[in-house]
Amino acid sequence: MTHEMGATSLARDPTLGKRLRRRAHESFGMKLSYGFRVGAGYVWDRLTRRMPAKAGHLLIALADHFEPAFMPQKSLARAFYDEQEGRIESWCRAYPRAAYDGRDSEGRPFVHTYFYPAEQYDRGLVARLAEHCKAGWGEIEVHLHHGVQTPDNAENTRRQLVSFRDTLAEEHGCLSYLDGFGMPRYAFVHGNFALANSAGGRGCGVDSEMQILADTGCYADMTLPTAVPHPAQTAKINSLYECKLPLWSRAPQRRGRDLESGRAPRAFPLIIQGPLMIVLSPRSSRLLSIENGAVTGRNPLSVQRLEVCKRAAIHVKGRPDWRFIKLHCHGMDPRQQEALLGAPFTRFLSDLIENARQRGDTLHFVTAREMVNIMFAACDGRDGNPGQYRDYRLKRVQATSFDPRYVDDATVRARG
């Protein structure tokens, strides 16, 4: 039956076989290119990186590519509005229940940074999410999918970013200001990983995207690492750095100067990478696997995974005892709900906090903005408790201080 169906399809479309062979060839080429690039970068990273002599402060942020309209297996389709509304409402009620008891060394809960897609903006949906964030459960930043079907252009990209930036700041009280002044500032995630047209023209189309981000107030990009494999992945890994100039060139993030204590960064946006580690897995079907900080249904968070991320030793040079771990997820993907709201997540938080002292970790749960503020402090030579620098330079439009007494109705019912 399968053979007959295949033959029929080929008869109807004589180019199908050729297209399938081309896709297989492209996929193999992409994997090969990714392997060489990441493999070489990994070897260099492990040879040159100085590991901290002892444990210290662990700063953990979760970049949530938060897309209420996401439809599994249908990348160009969008969920109906009622479904999007239901997803956000369910999330805003369920997350406080799941995360309420998990606190860091300063009594702060584990939070998400919600990178909301500019092209999917809806006033009511963002207003509900902003309410959730102002209660202390995270912050909203900027996400953008563009150039998917046809390449985008610089003018349209700039327009979308400025419009969404101003709407978040003025309409919803989100985002921040550098030292409390000027234009709203934001962190960014590219929706297709193809930052600054780094995926061969697919999923972007704008070579000068990094310059546009700088001009419109982006202080940090948190796109990397990419999915596995992906042509936009850089050979430079496990790093915090400034892009190589000029910013208007294609993919300037492929190279750059590492952040360093005693030297304030000058080129923005900063590139804030999550961990990318090659893991030996002798007991699995694959001898080697890639740890890229993605939290999924098949690969939920665990203390064991976090230990691998710690070995990436991502830090500002000269401040190795402040280690930064940027994880990422897709909170609105129905397939990931159990990993992000269910037993695997609550078990991870419990294990992480209960045994932190034995591991020598001082935990700090931070948003993207707080993480970058602490990096600024490290570059300025600050020391002590990094948690005191959460609001160091990037100031919230509306400051939010988590009040452990606050619990919404759903949480009250859940806790009796």
Task: Dump pLDDT digits (tens) for 270-308.
Answer: 999 999 999 987 656 677 889 999 999 999 999 999 999
pLDDT at 15: 54
Pick 20 or 241 by higher pLDDT: 241
- For residue 9, being part of any structural domain is answered with no
Residue 4 lies in a domain: no
Q: Give pLDDT tens digits for 136-148.
A: 999 999 999 999 9
In a domain, 17, yes or no: no
Q: What CATH number corresponds to the domain at position 326?
A: 3.20.110
Give domain status of residue 150, yes or no. yes
Does some domain include residue 392?
A: yes
Does residue 354 surpass a pLDDT of 80? yes
Answer yes or no: is pLDDT of 68 > 50. yes
**Which pLDDT tens digit goes with each residue over 303-327?**
999 999 999 999 999 999 999 999 9
**Which domain, by its residues, includes 328?**
26-415
Residue 8 domain-assigned (yes or no): no
Query: 182 in a domain, yes or no?
Result: yes
- Total domains present in the chain: 1
Amino acid at 27: S
pLDDT for 410 equals 43
Band of pLDDT at residue 262, cut at 50, 70 and 90? very high
Mean pLDDT of 102-113: 97
**Within a domain: 11:** no
- Does the pLDDT value for residue 10 go beyond 50? no
pLDDT band for 1, please (50, 70, 90 cuts).
Answer: very low
pLDDT beyond 90 at 75: no
pLDDT higher than threshold 90 for residue 60? yes
